[in-house]
Amino acid sequence: MTKLSVNVNKVAWLRNARGGNNPDVVEISKLCELFGADGITVHPRPDERHIRKTDVYALSPVVRGEFNMEGYPSEPFLNLVEDVKPDQVTLVPDSPEQLTSNHGWNVTDNATFLRNVTSRLKRCGCRVSIFIDPIPEQAEAAARAGADRVELYTEPYAAAYEADREEAIRPFVETARRVQELGMGLNAGHDLSLQNLTFLRHRIPWIDEVSIGHALIADALRMGLRETIRLYQACLGK
């Protein structure tokens, strides 16, 4: 079954907009798991515009499911991972000024760097996932770099879904099949929603995990957190 990891960055962003600790990221994360989420994702950035380093330390001992940390593998990020030892680390190629992730790694061009980072993270017991575009050759390069999983960057699928869902999913199915052949795990994330998640899972039922933040938190404002997580899990067949 595909697991649902809730990205709580937007919860932290809302808290930071006003100061103080409302909403409380730790409390909301606990509620997400209580209401059926399989894990929590955080993506701390250098400017701490949403998730802060202190949030990572606060969440680490209380997340009962899988704790996934996303980020660009800078030295401060790697040091934080080595200190916290999350279950999974997802390596993304974001520059510090990016609003959000908007592309996957060119793993081929960054092979030595990613191989060294992956080896370092595995020594502290973390599963390593590399964020890629839906290109089979990038999955092959991630396997050579030693990654345990890849995460498919699904924004192009989400953007094209309404116009032609079959064409939108085609490169993702092709890449997902190659990932399966390589014996790697498969994650997916970015702009997944109640509108497009069911079709993604139907066409790629062997996805191990989806990480969803923006759409899920926005839906929770209308429907409540418990009902929203129930609906997302229903999209995943639960």
Amino acid code (one letter) for 13: W
The radius of gyration of the chain from alpha carbons, rounded to an integer in Å, stands at 17
**How high is the pLDDT of residue 161?**
98
Cβ atoms 161, 195 nearer than 8 A = yes
Cβ atoms 149, 107 nearer than 8 A = no
**How high is the pLDDT of residue 155?**
97
DSSP track, the chain:
--EEEEE-HHHHHHHHHH-TTSS-HHHHHHHHHHTT--EEEE---TT-SSS-HHHHHHHTTT--SEEEEEE---HHHHHHHHHH--SEEEE----TT-SS------TTTTHHHHHHHHHHHHTTT-EEEEEE-S-HHHHHHHHHTT-SEEEEE-HHHHHHTTT-HHHHHHHHHHHHHHHHHTT-EEEEESS--TTTHHHHHHH-TT--EEEE-HHHHHHHHHH-HHHHHHHHHHHTT-
Q: Each residue of 57-81: pLDDT tens digit?
A: 999 999 999 999 999 999 999 999 9
Cβ atoms 185, 149 nearer than 8 A = yes
Q: Which of 50, 140, 190, 209 is labelled catalytic? A: 190
Phi (first) and psi of residue 113, to 5 degrees: -60, -50
Q: Each residue of 15-64: pLDDT tens digit?
A: 999 999 999 999 999 999 999 999 999 999 999 999 999 999 999 999 99
**How high is the pLDDT of residue 95?**
67
Question: Which residues are paired to 129 by β-bridges?
Answer: 90, 149
Is residue 190 among the annotated active site residues?
yes
**How high is the pLDDT of residue 62?**
97
Regions of the chain short of the pLDDT cut 50: none
Domains and CATH numbers, the chain: 3-235 (3.20.20.70)
**How high is the pLDDT of residue 96?**
59
Q: Which of 50, 70, 140, 151 is labelled catalytic? A: 70
**How high is the pLDDT of residue 66?**
98
